[in-house]
Amino acid sequence: MIGHSWGGHLAMHLAVHHPDRLLGLVLTDPLGAVPDGGATDMEANLASRIPPGQAARARALDERAMAGHGTAQDALESLAIVWPGYFASPQDAPPMPPLRISVDCYAQTFTSIAQHFENKTLQRRLASLTLPTVVLLGADNPIPPKHGIATAALIPGASYRIEPECGHFPWLEHPGSVRTPVLLSSADHPDLAP
C-alpha cells in the first residue's frame, strides 16, 4: 500500500489492524506516528512560507473547517493559500489541481487522529509489524523529516529515504521518486513485484 500525507498515516492504521491484507508499505511524507506526527511543525512551517496576512486568513478558515462550521469553499480557499508552502520552492509551485473536500470528513478525520495520538495507538502497535516498509521523505517538506524518521524507527526493519530539494509532493517535484522505493522494495521482497 502506498499512502501519502494523511493517507500514509491511515495506511499505518490499516497495517496494524489488518496486516494480513498488505504485502508492504510505502509511506510518502506521512503524518507521523509520534507525538503529533509533525502537525504542529507543519502548521508553523506552512505559515512561515507565505505572507503573514495570508497565513492568518488560511488559519482562520482552517479553524472554522476544523470546528465543522466552515464551508467546502472555505477549506479549499485555505488550502489554495498554503499550497505553495508545500513545495521546496514555493515560488515555483505548480497550480493547485481542482479538488473536492468534505468539511465534515476533514474535521472528523483530525478528531480521530488526535484521539489516536492521545491513546498512542500507532506508537504501541507499530512494533508488531513485520511488513516491508519504506518511508519516503521530502527534505523540504513542511512536516520535517525527523517525524518520518521517528516513525520508521517504530517499525521493525523499516527504512527511510530523504529526497533532497523536495517538499510534500515528491512525485511532482522529482518524478520517479515514489516509484524508486517501490522497485527497491520489490527487489528485496519478490512477493511485492508489480
SS3 label, residue 162? strand
Q: Are 168 and 141 in contact (CB under 8 A)?
A: yes
Q: Which domains, from first to last, does the chain contain?
A: 2-192 (3.40.50.1820)
Mean pLDDT of 80-88: 96
Condensed to tens digits (0 to 9), the pLDDT of residues 18-74 reads 999 999 999 999 999 989 999 999 999 999 999 989 999 999 998 887 777 789 999
pLDDT at 138: 97
pLDDT at 194: 47
Instruction: State the alpha helices, DSSP H only, in the chain.
Output: 6-17, 39-48, 52-66, 72-82, 103-119, 121-125, 145-154, 170-173, 179-188
Q: What is the DSSP string of 90-144?
A: GGGPPPPPP----HHHHHHHHHHHHHHHHHTHHHHHGGG--S-EEEEEETT-SS-
pLDDT at 66: 76
- Residues 40, 35: Cα–Cα separation, whole Å: 10
- Residues 67, 83: Cα–Cα separation, whole Å: 21
CA distances from 64 to 6, 53, 61 (A): 20, 17, 5
Condensed to tens digits (0 to 9), the pLDDT of residues 131-183 reads 999 999 999 999 999 999 999 999 999 999 999 999 999 999 999 888 876 66
pTM score of the predicted model: 0.89
Residue 187's pLDDT band (boundaries 50, 70, 90)?
low
pLDDT at position 100 over 50: yes
